[in-house]
A = this chain, B = another copy of it.
Amino acid sequence: MLQLYHAEPGANSLKSMLCLKEKGLDFVSHYLNLAEFEQHNPEFVRINPNGQVPALVHNGQVITESTLINEYIEDVFAEPPLRPADPVARWQMRFWTKFVDEYFCPALSVLGWQQIIKPMVEHLSEEEFEAKIARIPLKEQRDKWRTAATQSFPQEQLDDCTYKVDVSLQKIENALAKDDWVAGPDFTLADISCFAMISPMPMFYSALMNENRTPHCMDWHARMMERPAVIETLAMAHKPLPTSAR
């Protein structure tokens, strides 16, 4: 049996939800509301000691880290293949999933946190806030929460992150100018990783991603939005999603 602990269909949660759907795999969905800090609940921290979603449970074994969850799903459920058979094409695919994890996602994450954390915590008393922070397993995550909630990130860091998001989009744009899909002629886990980041960007980052600046990204985004697996996955949203991300 497959169980997935996940948040809304966005970012890293979307990455693994979409991989399961593209494979046509049934899974038990366990929704965690990040706005209620449910990923730091003791019951979930027993499943993933880092207190981070998504987490896949397969026959009782916990598998974490969205990119590695997707490689695991591919290792266990080979059909339909989302990883190229040719080793060079496979390397190319992994180059993108690694790029998303180490460059695109961390930059986008800071910009997202800057937007969402303050409204999530401003109704809490200092004691309530400290109690929430104390449950976060990773020091790095505690530091990031505290910065986002109490003092904002420095403008220099926000500018640097915006630069990196733009570099990421331009790299993907250049790739899509050459091929139909991010890592080449076939739809792969690279498309899933990139779409997990880009999904709401035509609405929220329209200054960076639009018909003039990134026409191939816009076309690819439209093709992604027509895939049955994408439609099904985005329909799993618990909160209303903005129109362009549905």
Query: Which residues of A are at the interface with B, using a C-beta cutoff of 8 A?
Result: 61, 63-65, 67-68, 71-72, 75-76, 87-88, 90-91, 94-95, 98, 101-102, 139, 163
* Further pairs besides A71-B90, A72-B87, A72-B88: 8, Cβ < 8 Å: A63-B88, A65-B94, A65-B95, A67-B98, A71-B94, A72-B90, A75-B87, A101-B102
| In contact, B68 and A88 (Cβ under 8 angstroms) | no
| In contact, B76 and A87 (Cβ under 8 angstroms) | yes
| In contact, B67 and A91 (Cβ under 8 angstroms) | no
| In contact, B65 and A90 (Cβ under 8 angstroms) | no
Which residues of B have CB within 8 Å of A67?
98
| In contact, B87 and A68 (Cβ under 8 angstroms) | no
**In whole angstroms, how far apart are the Cα atoms of A75 and B75 in the complex?**
13
Among A68, A72, A88, A91, max chain B CB count under 10 A is at A91
With A68-B98, A98-B68, A102-B102 as given contacts, are A63 and B91 in contact (CB-CB < 8 Å)? yes
- For A61, the closest partner residue in chain B by CB is B88
Which residues of B have CB within 8 Å of A163?
139
What's the minimum C-beta distance from A23 to chain B, rounded to whole angstroms? 14
What's the minimum C-beta distance from A183 to chain B, rounded to whole angstroms? 12
**In whole angstroms, how far apart are the Cα atoms of A65 and B98 in the complex?**
9
| In contact, A95 and B68 (Cβ under 8 angstroms) | yes
**In whole angstroms, how far apart are the Cα atoms of A98 and B61 in the complex?**
19
**In whole angstroms, how far apart are the Cα atoms of A71 and B67 in the complex?**
14
Which residues of B have CB within 8 Å of A61?
88
Which residues of B have CB within 8 Å of A101?
98, 102
What's the minimum C-beta distance from A198 to chain B, rounded to whole angstroms? 21
- For A75, the closest partner residue in chain B by CB is B87
What's the minimum C-beta distance from A88 to chain B, rounded to whole angstroms? 5
22 contacts between A and B (CB under 8 A): A61-B88, A63-B88, A63-B91, A65-B94, A65-B95, A67-B98, A68-B94, A68-B95, A68-B98, A71-B90, A71-B91, A71-B94, A72-B87, A72-B88, A72-B91, A75-B87, A75-B90, A76-B87, A98-B101, A101-B102, A102-B102, A139-B163
